[in-house]
Amino acid sequence: MTMLFSPYTIKDVTLKNRIVMSPMCMYSSNEQDGNVTRFHITHYGTRALGQVGLVMLEATSITRQGRISNEDLGIWHDDHIEGLSKVVEDIHSYGSKAAIQIAHAGRKAMADGDAIGPSAIPYNDKMKMPIEMSEKDIKDTIQAFQDGVLRAKKAGFDIIELHGAHGYLISSFLSPLSNKRTDNYGGSLENRYRFLRETITAVKEVWDGPLFVRVSANDYLEDGCSIEDFVTYSKKMKEDGVDLIDTSSGGVASAKIKPYPGYQVRYAETIRSEANIPTGAVGLITTGIQAEEILQNERADLVFIGRELLRDPYWPRTAASQLGETIEAPVQYERGWN
């Protein structure tokens, strides 16, 4: 059996293969309410039907004003649990596991209301000027992360991912480009990590299942974070109980990035080897052969597929064909053939 289609176990959760649907914002909730719509059930369920091992929902906001847009999914209210549980039920019905990315957009929030961040520094001149968070704001937001994770648990998700990448709230605390604080949450790398550490601690008080964190492992700017910084951060996350680093890059500040096939895989490989923690690779991974190479060469433990799964909801079957692999059809198809 190829590695791509071999099972992978994290704590007590076993994925039937190592294909993960990368979290991608769909901007498809009804404006203002953050609720699941029929689109979400169809969209995520179809990828599970296509035999993705782990289907991860898009960035789902812990507060109304922490959304990237007014159409983002939300998890700031108990009313969201019912709709999210329907998505989980659909994913599970096809034999896949369900994950959700818990998020706060921070200074990149474009929803109605004020934006907040570690410092009053806008992402660019077209974005809102964020309000620098007080220590009370920080504590309240960490509580909101914990509350959101508890709701995700009630909805039945198997895996939680904290969104610590792309310049959103957690990411903006980690980078010196967006965090100019002089208190305990800014300055040194240890202090810039404090917000994430306290968030992880709060989350683990209510969640004992697998916990992932998505990071931007390179700011692509001289004064920003580098992969060396994220090796250090990843060691700290491992100590704090994180199970896997989902390794992306960029988005903290405007920078020239020249993407090419697998351009971010080297970051997953470096963190995996130097921080000794499992990683997920993401970024222009489009073929089964490419995904298999990443796994066989121990560059990552899971492969996150984004745009290719938008183009082809049945990408696992395409990849299996490329690798000469045979995968089982969903039980519903088996019944139809008999």
Interval 111-151: pLDDT, tens? 989 999 999 999 998 999 999 999 999 999 999 999 999 99
Interval 82-103: pLDDT, tens? 999 999 999 999 999 999 999 9
**Strand pairing class (131-132; 159-164):** unpaired
Q: What is the mean pLDDT of the chain?
A: 96
Q: Which of 30-39, 56-65, 151-160, 244-253 has the lowest mean pLDDT?
A: 30-39
Helix locations, 181-301, DSSP H: 189-204, 227-239, 265-274, 288-296
What band does 336 get if pLDDT is binned at 50, 70 and 90?
A: low
> CB atoms < 10 A from the CB of 178, how many?
26
Helix locations, the chain, DSSP H: 38-49, 80-93, 135-155, 169-174, 189-204, 227-239, 265-274, 288-296, 307-311, 315-322, 331-337
Q: Where are the domains of the chain?
A: 8-337
CA distance 194 to 217: 17
For the entire predicted model, the pTM comes to 0.96
User: Do the beta carbons of residue 114 and residue 128 sit within 8 Å?
Assistant: yes
CATH superfamily for 8-337 is Aldolase class I (3.20.20.70)
pLDDT at residue 107 greater than cutoff 80: yes
User: Do the beta carbons of residue 158 and residue 98 sit within 8 Å?
Assistant: yes
Please provide the DSSP assignment of 114-143 as one string: --EESSS--SSTTS--PEEPPHHHHHHHHH
CA distance 196 to 83: 28
CA distance 97 to 260: 30
Local structure of residue 72 (DSSP, 8 states): S
CA distance 103 to 320: 33
The pLDDT value given to residue 30: 85
The dihedral through the CA atoms of 142, 143, 148, 150 has a sign that is positive
Interval 47-67: pLDDT, tens? 999 999 999 999 999 999 999
The tokens for 317 are: 């079957």
CA distance 116 to 99: 26
